[in-house]
Amino acid sequence: MRQLFIILVYFSFNVYCLTAQQWVPSGASMTINPTQTKVGIGTTSPKTNLHVEGNVYIPMQSSYWIGATSDAGNRLRMHHTGSGAFIDYYPSLTFRAGTSTIMTLTSDLKVGLGVSSPTEKLDINGSLKVRGVDFVLGTESGRPQGSKLRNRALVHSGVENKDELVVNFDGDFEDGVRVQGPKLGVQGYLGIATMSPTSALQINAEGDPSYIEGQNDVNKRHGIQIWGLDQALLMGVNTEKRISYLQSVDVWNWPSNLVLNQRGGCVNIGNVDVNQTAGYIFAVAGNMIAERYVCKLKANWPDYVFSANNYSLMPLKDLENYVRENKHLPEIPSEQEVQKNGIDMAEMTTLLLKKVEELTLYIIEQNKEIESLKCVVDKLKN
C-alpha cells in the first residue's frame, strides 16, 4: 500500500511538470497554464484563454468562426474561398468606436451609419457629403433609376414647421440650377424670387422690376417667342419707342405686322410709325375690311338742319363764290389738310350729312321758286 501511494505521488508530479513546461522549437514558445486555462503562443504570459503573439494563418477553404459553427446560429465567420474572401454574420454586425456605433450591418441587408438599428437600405444619422461629380440613386442602362423620392420634402423647416426643398439657398452654386429635359412639371404654385407664390406662376423681384428676358437686340427684348416654320409670335417691349407689344412676324420679313398695347393703352396694327400716331387710340397701317362698322358720336347728329324753322342757309351766290375761291365746300377740310392731318371719320360723316341736308333745303327752295314761276308762266299764257 505504501509503495502504491509513492507511485501515485511520483506520477502526479511528473504530469504537473509535463503540463507546466515550455516548448521552444526554433526560438518560439508555447505555454499551457492549466491552473488558469490560458494558452499562449509566442508568449510566456498569456493574458486571455488564447493569446497569440504574432500572425495567425488560416488556410484557404477554411473559416474562422466566432459563436456558432454553422450557418444556422448567431455567428461571425471569416472565410477565403480561394478566389475571394468574405465575412459572414448573423443577425447583425456592428463597428464601434468605444461605445459609439459607427456602422451597423443587418441580416436583412440594411446599413446604418451612426445608427444601431437601421430601418432602410441606407440609414444615416448625420450629414452626407458626396465628393464625386455625379450622385446616382441606382442605375439602369446608365441612367438613374427610380421615379420619386419617398419623403415629401428633403428639408424640414423647424421655424415655420413646413416641409420645403431649398436649392442654392446661400448662393453656393456658381452656375445656378439647371433642368435639362423635355418636361418640367410643377403641381401647385411656382414662385420665382418669392417663397410664397399665390398663383400658378408668380415672378417677383425686390428693388428691380420683374421681367422675362429672351433674345436681345439693341433696343428690343422679345420676352416670349413662339416659332413656326415661317411665322413667329413675339411678346415683349421696345425701350426705344417705349411700347409694349404682341408681334406677329414673317420670319423672312422681320418688320412687325401686329403691335398691341402701346404705352397709354393704344393699339397699332401693321408697320405703324408710332411717331405719327401719337394721341390716337387705334392705328392701322394698310387696308381694313369689315362686315359692319358702327360709330357712336358724342356730339349732336345734324338733324338740327331740319329741326330749325329758320335754319340759315348760305345764299347760293355766296356759296358759288366760296367754292370758286376755296375749291371745297364750307366746313369741309381742304385737300392739303386731309393729306397732313387725315380724316376724322366721325366728324367727316357728320359734316357730309349736314351738307346733304343743306343741299336738300336748297332743292326744296329751288323747287318752290320753280313752282311759283310755273304759275306765272301759266297766267301769262292764258
pLDDT digits (tens, 9 = 90+) for 4-61: 445 544 555 454 444 444 444 444 556 666 666 788 888 888 888 888 898 888 888 8
What DSSP character marks residue 23? B
Q: Is residue 337 part of a domain?
A: yes
- Domain range for 13 is 1-54
Q: Is residue 271 part of a domain?
A: yes
- Residue 96's CB is within 10 A of a number of other CB atoms, namely 11
Q: Is residue 366 part of a domain?
A: yes
Q: Which of 66-75, 224-233, 356-365 has the lowest mean pLDDT?
A: 224-233
What DSSP character marks residue 45? S
Q: Are residues 241 and 281 in the same domain?
A: yes
Which residue reads 421681367 in cell numbers? 211
User: What whole-number distance in Å separates Cα of residue 306 and Cα of residue 310?
Assistant: 9
What DSSP character marks residue 162? E
Top-confidence range, 126-135, 260-269, 333-342: 333-342
How many domains are there within the chain? 3
The domain boundary, picked from 35, 54, 73, lies at 54
- As to burial, measured by CB atoms within 10 angstroms (0-12 exposed, 13-18 middle, 19+ buried), residue 307 is exposed
- Using DSSP bridges, classify how beta strands 111-113 and 122-124 pair: parallel, antiparallel or unpaired: parallel
Report pLDDT for 229.
Answer: 73
Report pLDDT for 34.
Answer: 62
**H and E: helices and strands count for the chain:** 5, 23
Task: Please check the confidence at residue 196 and state whether its pLDDT lies above 70.
Answer: yes
Average pLDDT, the chain: 76
- Quote the strand ranges of 56-125, DSSP E: 63-67, 75-80, 85-90, 92-97, 100-106, 111-113, 122-124
Q: Is residue 360 part of a domain?
A: yes
Q: Which grid coordinates belong to 115?
A: 445608427
Q: What share of the chain is helix, strand, coil (3-state, %, to 5)?
A: 20, 25, 50
pTM of the model: 0.39
Q: Is residue 59 part of a domain?
A: no
Backbone phi, psi, residue 258, to 5°: -155, 120
User: What whole-number distance in Å separates Cα of residue 254 and Cα of residue 271?
Assistant: 10
Report pLDDT for 88.
Answer: 85
Q: Are residues 280 and 311 in the same domain?
A: no
Report pLDDT for 160.
Answer: 62
Which residue reads 318752290 in cell numbers? 368
DSSP notation for 330-355 = TTSPPHHHHHHH---HHHHHHHHHHH
Residues 6+ apart with CB under 8 A from 331: 351, 354, 355
Closest by CA to 249, choosing from 236, 262, 265, is 236
With pLDDT > 90 as the criterion, what percentage of the chain qualifies? Answer: 21
Q: Are residues 257 and 321 in the same domain?
A: no
Q: Is residue 345 part of a domain?
A: yes
Report pLDDT for 24.
Answer: 45
> With bands split at pLDDT 50, 70 and 90, how would you rate the model's confidence at 316?
very high
H or E element that contains 234: strand 231-238
Which residue reads 400716331 in cell numbers? 277
Report pLDDT for 204.
Answer: 72
Q: Is 212:223 a contact under the CB 8 Å cutoff? A: yes
Q: Is residue 118 part of a domain?
A: no
Report pLDDT for 22.
Answer: 46
Q: Are residues 267 and 311 in the same domain?
A: no
The alpha carbons of the chain give a radius of gyration, in whole angstroms, of 53
The domain boundary, picked from 262, 289, 316, lies at 289
pLDDT one-digit tens code per residue, 133-163: 565 566 555 555 554 545 444 555 555 666 6
Task: Please check the confidence at residue 360 and state whether its pLDDT lies above 90.
Answer: yes
Task: Please check the confidence at residue 214 and state whether its pLDDT lies above 60.
Answer: no
Q: Is 39:31 a contact under the CB 8 Å cutoff? A: yes
Q: What is the mean pLDDT of residues 186-215?
A: 71
- As to burial, measured by CB atoms within 10 angstroms (0-12 exposed, 13-18 middle, 19+ buried), residue 238 is buried
**Residue 21: C-alpha distances to residues 32, 33, 48, 322 (Å):** 8, 9, 19, 154
> With bands split at pLDDT 50, 70 and 90, how would you rate the model's confidence at 192?
confident
Report pLDDT for 260.
Answer: 59
User: What whole-number distance in Å separates Cα of residue 367 and Cα of residue 362?
Assistant: 8
Q: Is residue 129 part of a domain?
A: no
Q: Is 319:330 a contact under the CB 8 Å cutoff? A: yes
**C-alpha angle 292/258/277, rounded to 5°?**
80
Amino acid at 203: I
The domain boundary, picked from 230, 254, 289, lies at 289
Report pLDDT for 326.
Answer: 95
Report pLDDT for 205.
Answer: 62
Q: Is 88:108 a contact under the CB 8 Å cutoff? A: no
Report pLDDT for 94.
Answer: 92
